[in-house]
């Protein structure tokens, strides 16, 4: 099972808010997830994010692969593998 750390879209039309989730790579973008580890809001200036660093590090150490956007958010949050 390929576990990914990626974004799930929430919010209204034209006002997206994203959750940072750990999910099976075969599931749909907004499908079932294993665990929610944070949020990302691109609507504010500057964009805001909240990440549970402990959970993120745990999943990275267990082999979960972050997407490009999530890895950029992790760099901003100071989370390294």
Q: Which domain holds residue 23?
A: 3-77
**Quick one: which of 9, 3, 71, 76 has its CA closest to 34?**
3
Residue 20's alpha-carbon distances to 12, 27, 33, 75, in angstroms, are: 17, 15, 10, 14
The confidence score (pLDDT) of residue 27 equals 84
The confidence score (pLDDT) of residue 74 equals 95
pLDDT digits (tens, 9 = 90+) for 46-74: 999 999 999 999 999 999 999 999 999 99
The confidence score (pLDDT) of residue 1 equals 67
The domain total for the chain is 1
Q: What is the CATH number of the domain that holds 63?
A: 3.30.1320.10
């Amino acid at each position: 099972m390929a576990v990914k750390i990626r974004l799930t879209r929430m919010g209204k039309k034209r006002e997206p808010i994203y959750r940072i989730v750990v999910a099976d790579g075969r599931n749909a973008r907004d499908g079932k997830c294993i665990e929610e580890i944070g949020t990302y809001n691109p609507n504010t200036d500057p964009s805001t994010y909240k990440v549970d660093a402990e959970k993120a590090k745990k999943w990275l150490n267990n082999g979960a692969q972050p997407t490009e956007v999530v890895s950029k958010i992790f760099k901003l949050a100071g989370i390294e593998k």
